[in-house]
Structures are given as C-alpha cells and as structure tokens.
Chain A
C-alpha cells in the first residue's frame, strides 16, 4: 500500500473534499506543511474558511486572493504559501479577464444584481474554487497546489460546477431572458415562460435580470472555453482527490458516496483520510484484557483499601475512580471495534487510507499542523 507522501510527491493538484466538520481545512493545511517540509518545492494551500485563530497563526488576510508565504523551520526543504479563496474577488477577476470591452466590464461590476449572482449563481463557490486551481496551476508558480473545498450542500456540486457553467451559457434560457422585450410575444416556445415569470417576479425585475445576462452573454466564448479547461483539469492525471472523514456514521456515508461518484466519473481518488480516530494504543487487545482484570479486582475490598492507602487517598474515591477507569476502557473497546469496521469499509474505496488520532486540543498554529501532519505522513 502506497502512502500519502508518495501520492503528494507525484501529483501537482490535490483537491481535498468531505462533509462539513471533519477537519478538511486543517487537514489541507497540515498536508501543505508536510509537503513543503519534506518534499520541497513551492507548495500552495488554497483554503476556504479557516478558523480565525488558524488563519491568524498562518498570517492570512481575511479577504482577497493574496498569496502569502508562511515561514517554516529553516530546515524545511521547500516553501509553503497560503491564500484564502474569495469568491467575490474571484468573480471580479474573471469578469476583468473575459469582458470584451470596458463597457461590458463596468456594466457588470456595477450592476446591483451582480454581487448577488457571484454569491449564489450556479454553485459559484465551487466554480471559483476550481477556477482558481486551474489559474494557479496554469501560471506555473507552484509545484503543488492543495485546494480545500467549500462546504457544499452536495459534494457533487464541485465536480459539476464547470460543466454547469458552460451549459448555462449555451442554454436556451439565457437566450430567452436576453431577448428584447418586444420580440418576446412572437416566440411561441418561450411564451409560457414569460407569462409565468412576469406574474411571479414582475416584468420589471425580469427586465433587470435580462440586462445583466445580456452583458454576461457577451463573455460567452471566454467563459465556456475556460469552464472546459477547468473541467479538463479535474481528469488530468496530475490531479488527485482526497476524501476526509471522521469515524462517525454520517461522514463515512458521505465519503463513500463521494468515492463512488469519483469512480463513476473516472476521477482519481488518491486517498481517504480518517480524522479523529482513537489513538492506536487504545486498540490494544492486551490493554482491553487488563481493563477487564481491573474491573474484576474491584470486588476485592482488601486490595482496594491497600491501593487507596498506597495512593494516600480516600478508599471510596479510589473505588469510584477505578470503576470509571475500567468501565470507560471497555466502552472504548466497543468504539474501537466500530472504528475498525468503518476503516475497513473506507479501505475498499481508495488505495491509501491514513488515520490521524483525535488530538488533545484544537489545531490553531503551525506546531499543531505539524503534529497532525506527522500522523498523516507516516
């Protein structure tokens, strides 16, 4: 079985996905730290929404697409860079590069509905994440780009975003709403659409949207070409996907669903990362036996008194503590069995499965990322 270091040494683009709350952002950052430290080269982590303390520790600005160098240990072989993914700024950049002239550009950027569109339009966050990945990769500025994905309502939105963007520009709908108002009544096919839309939204509002889309349409060729490039990037052999999960039922279920979709689309699932598992020592069978023996010994009152005396503690408190200690470990054994089964299930999905134990504290600085990274890198 190959390991994560081999995977990251052989790819140029890594897309980190998984359901919310599994530690996706932290995992992406930790992998960036490990790759820059051990593999060398220039590594960029594109992150979506890190916890504020983590962002501060990494010196990331809250907004904007600025790439920032993160100072690692002098012995690190490469450079680590990080940037926040800013959907609004990403859209502005796209408009600037695809608008055929200044009129279209300014018309769009100043349209009151534009901001709203950039925030929600056809899986806008997902599209921008993929777009930025493509842009950064094509620029040749980095050896490895690790992108943390937005928390999607549906994990597949990410994979569909470029295709949907291209489809939108080619759709009949776009033509309908950009048809000048007067000529509408003559298009039989679209007539019911206008009647419904006018009634529900009001003709005026529809006209506003029409104007916005008319401007958008002027960028069709650039946008469609770009969306196709982004789509191609996903299937590029230099790209791999990592699915992050925790051992709980719901994230594992989602991870499996995502893996199946990747396979169906012939996309490369490089590894599954299982966060917040029990530490390996807790899965020790000998320790489980020891816990059972300890529970048995509690019936021996003379022995209990001896232990309490040796500890200099109250006998009742000692008995209660040992009861909790022994009982608690037997619960852990049950959890460990469940985890082992979930891990086996995930191992059937991907060539590499790595686990990282639950850490004592939240990760909010570089040393925390190193600790997590060291577990993943084994």
Chain B
C-alpha cells in the first residue's frame, strides 16, 4: 500500500511505479486537483468531474476557496457547503468548502455537544484558533471530503484544491495532526482518513500545468515534495493549453522558403504587402509552440517514470464557462480512453 519512500528496494520501487493506465484515473474515489495559479486548475477539475458524471458516476465536485470560480466554470451561482445538483442531466453535485460549516456538521455527527444551537458565533471565533493551530482548518476540510468518500455518498469526489504552494499542508493535515495533537476527538478521527488518503486505489493527486517555464518547474517540485513528504499517490499530470504543432518537417522548410523574395512577391501580389504581417504571425506561433514543446519535453523527462502526462490542447474559443469545461472534458475523454 502507498507510495514507496526512501529505503524501499529498487525492485519494489519499480513494481510500484508500473502505474495503472491513465484510464483508471476516474475509477478512484477522491481526486485532488492542484497546480500553479493561472494554469486552468479549476477548469480541469470541473472537466474531470463532468466527464466522470457523463460516464455514469455520481460525482461531487468541491471548491476549497470561496472565490466561486468553480461554480462559475459551470455557469452557476456560487456553491454552498450543502452540495447542490449542477443542472445538465448528469449526476453531478457541487459544493464549496467552509470550515465553520464543516465544524458544525462534525459536532453534530460525532461530538453530540448539547450546544449545537449555540456554537454559531463560537465557531466563528474558533476560526481564529484554528488559524493558529497547525492543520486544524485543513483537517476540518479534508475530514469532510474523506467523510463523503467513506460514507459512499458519491462514486467520486473531485476537489478543486489549493494551488501548488499549499496543497501539501492540505493533504498531509491528518498526519500533521497526529504528530502535534496527542489527544482529543480530532486526533481519533485521523486514522480512517489516512487509510483513505494513503490508498492509491482510493485517492490520487492530479497536477495541472501549462507548457511554460514556471508552471513546469513548480509541477516538478510539487511531485517531488508530495512523494517525499506524503503517502498520497500522484495519479497524473495534465498539461493544459498545449499549442498545436503547426508544421511537419517538410512544411517547416516550405514555410521558410516562402519568405524568400521571389515567392514573397507572388504572395504580396495576390494578398497585398501586409501579407508580411500575416507570415510574421505564423512565425511567432511556430516559435511559441517550439518553446512550449521544449518545456513539455523537459517535464516528461524529469517526471518519475510511469507517471502519465495527459495533454489538453489550447482552446482558441472562449476561455471559461460551461462550453470550455465541456471541450476540456472531451479532450480528457480521448486521452484517458476506456470509460
């Protein structure tokens, strides 16, 4: 069970890195989607949830910050703590994490304090202590997610999780708590959470990136950090906004040759002198795609062997909302295969 850590024998490590095919991504029950800010993490999380729902699963998709970006991806008003069905036919539900509500629910389910009615304002102040206490907020959030998985309320829970800078403290909260809090109810709760989080059949982390320098670096750092510090399985890396390869080798040569004086004159005769700008735009597009391809190659080379990199092409249509989510879901459907 779990990822090999330092100390495992080479053969054991090899056995464990013969990963399941990427198609099994959606057969897990809890997927955290992380990545550097601005890479399209929310859209990918929404698309994974939508795809799983379209394939027949009952899916909960959860937004961890209260910005409403996930709900906006489905063209919905902001989600709330209480999951709400996302219109559109499939068995898809959306919620927004809220530590206060999570605490209240936890109290109701596990503590049975006879004060539930009165802890409203106290939960608010509790928020402050939780800020200071290591991992308390995280565990209230992750506890709620694990609870939904354990109770099998859904086939799959997809989490639009924290960005790469914070994700490790989020998914590692139950372990941090067992180390810092020696007694108390929260501590007693961590064992079953860890069992779910550490099982690669159940839980996976999906890292979203774009083919650019900083996102690729952050992805590599995050994958290393997750494997070194947690037992959570990195299930896949999704490269978003991959630019299309415009030309094959012969076409590249033909494109370069077109810019010689003789053929260029023929082009200018037919389309006017501004055809220069039109050619320049293509030159830029080729250069940019080449730089992006270089970053992708580096990513593939440096990632641990066997870790799948799924690609989602740049969508030259509108960049957000339901239509974009649907298009990303279709591309993921193709690259995941199976179903």
Contact = CB atoms under 8 A, between A and B. Distances in A.
Contacts of A297: 270-271
Interface in A276-305: 279, 281-282, 284, 286-287, 289-291, 293-294, 297, 300, 303
Contacts of B129: 173, 177, 197, 201, 206, 209
B254 A313 contact: yes
Interface string B100-136: 0001001100010101001100100110110111101
**Residue of A284, A291, A338 contacting most chain B CB atoms (<10 Å):** A291
A28 B142 CA distance: 36
A360 B287 contact: yes
B260 interface: yes
Nearest to A324: B246
A312 B253 CA distance: 10
B213 interface: yes
Interface in B167-221: 180-187, 212-215, 217
B9 interface: no
Contacts of B122: 192-193, 196
A264 interface: no
Given A21-B37, A154-B67, A209 B275 contact: no
B11 interface: no
B185 A199 contact: yes
A78 interface: no
Interface string A343-363: 000000000000000101110
Given A281-B277, A313-B254, A122 B131 contact: yes
A322 interface: yes
Given A121-B132, A154-B65, A293-B272, A328 B246 contact: yes
A177 B129 CA distance: 9
B166 to A, nearest CB: 8
Contacts of A176: 125
Contacts of A281: 277, 280-281
A202 B285 CA distance: 59
A200 B266 contact: no
Contacts of B319: 248-250
Contacts of B275: 287, 290-291, 293-294
A121 B132 CA distance: 5
B244 to A, nearest CB: 10
B186 A307 contact: no
B131 A121 contact: yes
B125 A151 contact: no
Given A205-B181, A290-B274, A313-B257, A321 B251 contact: yes
Contacts of A196: 107, 111, 113, 115, 119, 122, 126
Contact of A195 (B115, B165, B183, B272): B115
Contacts of B258: 307, 311, 313, 318, 321-322
Interface residues of B, number: 81
B27 interface: no
B136 A201 contact: yes
A317 B39 CA distance: 34
A153 interface: yes
Given A120-B131, A313-B253, A362-B212, A199 B38 contact: no
A71 interface: no
Interface in B227-248: 246-247
A61 interface: no
B278 A325 contact: yes
Contacts of B69: 250
B288 interface: yes
B185 A51 contact: no
A52 B165 CA distance: 15
Of B69, B125, B165, B287, which is in contact with the most chain A CB atoms at under 10 Å from its CB? Answer: B125
Given A121-B131, A328-B246, A284 B107 contact: no
Contact of A362 (B213, B260, B280): B213
Q: Give the interface SS of chain B, mostly helix, strand, loop or mixed.
A: helix
A364 B291 CA distance: 14
A76 B72 CA distance: 47
Contacts of B251: 317, 320-321, 324
Contacts of B37: 19-21, 151
Residue from A198, A203, A328 whose CB has the most chain B CB atoms within 10 Å: A328
Contacts of B103: 200
A279 B287 CA distance: 14
B278 A314 contact: no
B215 to A, nearest CB: 7
Counting chain A CB atoms within 10 Å of each CB, the highest count among B107, B274, B285 belongs to: B274
A282 B36 contact: no
B259 to A, nearest CB: 9
B272 to A, nearest CB: 5
B298 interface: no
A200 B111 contact: yes
B163 interface: yes
A142 interface: no
B184 A200 contact: yes
A362 B278 CA distance: 24
Nearest to B140: A200
A284 B274 contact: yes
B246 A306 contact: no
Contact of B247 (A21, A113, A308, A321): A321
Contacts of B165: 151
B1 interface: no
A377 interface: no
B17 interface: no
Nearest to B181: A205
A52 B218 CA distance: 10
Contacts of A308: 254, 263
Contacts of B318: 249, 338
B185 A282 contact: no
Given A308-B254, A362-B214, 6 more contacts: A21-B215, A199-B184, A202-B182, A310-B263, A312-B257, A325-B278
9 shortest A-B CB distances, which residue pairs?
A21-B38, A20-B37, A202-B184, A287-B277, A311-B257, A311-B263, A313-B254, A290-B274, A294-B271
